């Protein structure tokens, strides 16, 4: 494990900027298309089935975050998508479309349009709308209508509204029938299918663009650059157009349409002929990414509690600007504007939240194994309270200048068994690797994932030079 690698977190702003630049670059370099080996269509492991339920929720989320995502999937590709054709039963909505003479009218909600304006447009009286809205199944969805949502009205030419249908979420359709003064609700479950796929391509001119073209979500790309590979690959300088990546994700399909993509399950990145990989695994109910041999990719501590902050005072003896004499500076200072969020350097139990003399508003975290961190001069605390557990990266407070401070900054201390150490140079403890049953489970899962990725890559890159299977190793 590379310790110096942790310093790379500091360059993530640059990387993000780079990603933005790449995103902006109006270049369309052809990227190898998605391949779906036949093996994915049949067998599902228990894990995949478990994901299926999760995806009902997740899919909705992804769909909400990524409008136009399905469009991105429809970019022409080398591989026929017909291999994915689904034998799904016809859905009510399909039947609704294009049947002349029937009483159904479909309304796609336009930007700025309200529910009452839709009803008004169709000549449905306000009282009917009110009756429908009184029903709990209508209230929740219909008060949060978004442009693009489709409402189906069963509205005879010279009659009153009989039925209103809408999708509550990607997997549930609600049907509200009006019978006299009664409103009857029926929730129809829409069949969906979860498929585990490997999306593989070359970086080309833009990793972001290539990845999106393949069907990965923006959040998938962030997982690759900021979680899985950030310690080993410098996305600013190391990655070339012919470098390639393969990502295993679960996709949720409904009615032949991709409606959601889950988190990255496994990924490989080949840079300069060297293979890096990362695997998602849930430890104690929390998903993390691991190396092939079960070591967490996440470092135990992040070096800087404020990403991208400027170091203004180093560890060691210095002239104290307020006390007017030489004094040991037992931490490091990062300048940032008032209100900048301060993150927990590692998973911890909150040890102290309060005022401490010259430190002003202080939070002290206990990370176990003798490691504690202190954050001073805060303007405000986060929501944490003493005894509570916080995760690495959680916001525990905000930059200020409380106590003895000449300007807004974070005073950050790192102690090992009570002794102050320089957080910027100390060798951080390696994160705890998987062991026992967890490791066995992990090996089981990753073995399958890696085999899938390899089989896909073998198809795509059959003519490419063989890639040496390397364990993650320190970059020079």
| # residues near Zn ion by CB under 5 A | 3
Which residue, 316 or 370, has its beta carbon nearer to Zn ion?
A: 316
Binding mask 396-435 for Zn ion (x = CB under 5 A): ---------------x------------------------
Element containing residue 266 per DSSP (H, E): strand 266-271
Which residue, 249 or 378, has its beta carbon nearer to Zn ion?
A: 378
- As measured in angstroms, the least distance from the Cβ of 335 to Zn ion is 11
Tokens of 33: 């298309």
Which residue, 262 or 331, has its beta carbon nearer to Zn ion?
A: 331
Q: Which of 466, 452, 374 is nearest to 420 (CA)?
A: 374
Residue 190 in the binding site for Zn ion (CB under 5 A): no
Which of the residues 77 through 116 are near Zn ion (CB under 5 A)? Answer: none
- As measured in angstroms, the least distance from the Cβ of 343 to Zn ion is 17
Binding mask 325-364 for Zn ion (x = CB under 5 A): ------x-x-------------------------------
Q: CB neighbours of 376 closer than 8 A, spacing ≥ 6?
A: 331, 356, 359, 360, 361, 362, 403, 410, 411, 412, 413
Which residue, 59 or 331, has its beta carbon nearer to Zn ion?
A: 331
Which residue, 51 or 329, has its beta carbon nearer to Zn ion?
A: 329
- As measured in angstroms, the least distance from the Cβ of 341 to Zn ion is 18
- As measured in angstroms, the least distance from the Cβ of 409 to Zn ion is 7
Which residue, 244 or 411, has its beta carbon nearer to Zn ion?
A: 411
Cα(220)–Cα(31) distance, rounded to whole angstroms? 17
Cα(112)–Cα(105) distance, rounded to whole angstroms? 20
DSSP character at residue 126: H
- As measured in angstroms, the least distance from the Cβ of 344 to Zn ion is 18
CB closest to Zn ion, residue no: 411
Contact 250/265 with Cβ under 8 angstroms? yes
Q: CB neighbours of 470 closer than 8 A, spacing ≥ 6?
A: 274, 275, 276
Tokens of 148: 């693009």
- As measured in angstroms, the least distance from the Cβ of 377 to Zn ion is 8
Q: Strands 286-290 and 274-283, how do they pair? A: antiparallel
- Helix, coil or strand: residue 81: helix
DSSP character at residue 239: -
Point out which residues bind Zn ion (CB under 5 A): 331, 333, 411
């Amino acid at each position: 494990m590379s310790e110096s690698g942790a310093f790379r977190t500091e360059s993530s702003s640059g990387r993000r900027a780079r990603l933005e630049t790449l995103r902006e670059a109006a270049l369309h370099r052809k990227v190898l298309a998605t391949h779906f080996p036949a093996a994915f269509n049949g067998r599902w492991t228990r894990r995949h089935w478990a994901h299926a339920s999760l995806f009902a929720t997740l899919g909705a989320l992804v769909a909400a975050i990524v409008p136009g995502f399905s469009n991105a999937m429809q970019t022409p590709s080398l591989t026929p998508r017909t291999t994915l054709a689904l034998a799904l039963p016809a859905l009510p909505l399909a039947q609704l479309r294009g049947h002349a003479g029937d009483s159904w009218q479909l309304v796609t909600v336009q930007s700025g349009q309200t529910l009452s304006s839709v009803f008004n447009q169709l000549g449905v009286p306000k009282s009917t709308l009110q009756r429908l809205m009184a029903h709990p199944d209508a209230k929740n969805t219909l008060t949060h209508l978004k442009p693009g949502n489709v409402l189906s009205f069963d509205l005879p030419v010279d009659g009153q509204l009989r039925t209103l249908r809408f999708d509550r979420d990607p997997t549930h359709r609600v049907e509200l029938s009006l019978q006299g003064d009664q409103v009857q609700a029926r929730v129809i479950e829409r069949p969906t299918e979860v498929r585990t796929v490997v999306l593989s391509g070359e970086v080309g001119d833009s990793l972001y663009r290539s990845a999106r073209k393949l069907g990965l979500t923006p959040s998938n790309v962030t997982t690759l650059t900021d979680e899985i590979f950030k310690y080993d690959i410098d996305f600013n300088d190391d990655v070339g157009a012919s470098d390639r990546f393969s990502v295993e994700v679960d996709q949720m399909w409904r009615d032949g349409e991709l409606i959601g993509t889950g988190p990255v399950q496994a990924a490989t990145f080949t840079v300069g002929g060297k293979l890096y990989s990362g695997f998602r695994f849930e430890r104690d109910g929390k998903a993390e990414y691991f190396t092939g041999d079960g070591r967490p990719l996440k470092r135990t501590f992040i070096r800087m509690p404020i990403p991208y902050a400027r170091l203004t005072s180093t560890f060691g003896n210095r002239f104290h600007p307020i006390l007017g004499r030489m004094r040991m500076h037992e931490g490091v200072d990062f300048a940032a504007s008032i209100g900048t969020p301060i993150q927990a350097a590692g998973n911890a139990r909150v040890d102290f939240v309060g005022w401490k003399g010259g430190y002003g508003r202080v939070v002290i975290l206990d990370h176990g194994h003798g490691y504690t961190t202190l954050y001073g001069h805060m303007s405000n605390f986060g929501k944490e309270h003493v005894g509570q557990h916080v995760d690495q990266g959680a916001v525990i407070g905000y930059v200020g200048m409380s106590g003895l401070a000449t300007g807004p900054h974070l005073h950050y201390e790192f102690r090992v068994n009570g002794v102050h150490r320089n957080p910027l140079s100390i060798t951080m403890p390696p994160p705890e690797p998987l062991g026992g049953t967890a490791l066995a489970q992990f090996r089981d899962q990753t073995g399958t994932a890696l085999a899938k990725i390899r089989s896909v890559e073998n198809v795509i890159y059959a003519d490419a030079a063989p890639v040496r299977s390397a364990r993650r190793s320190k970059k020079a």
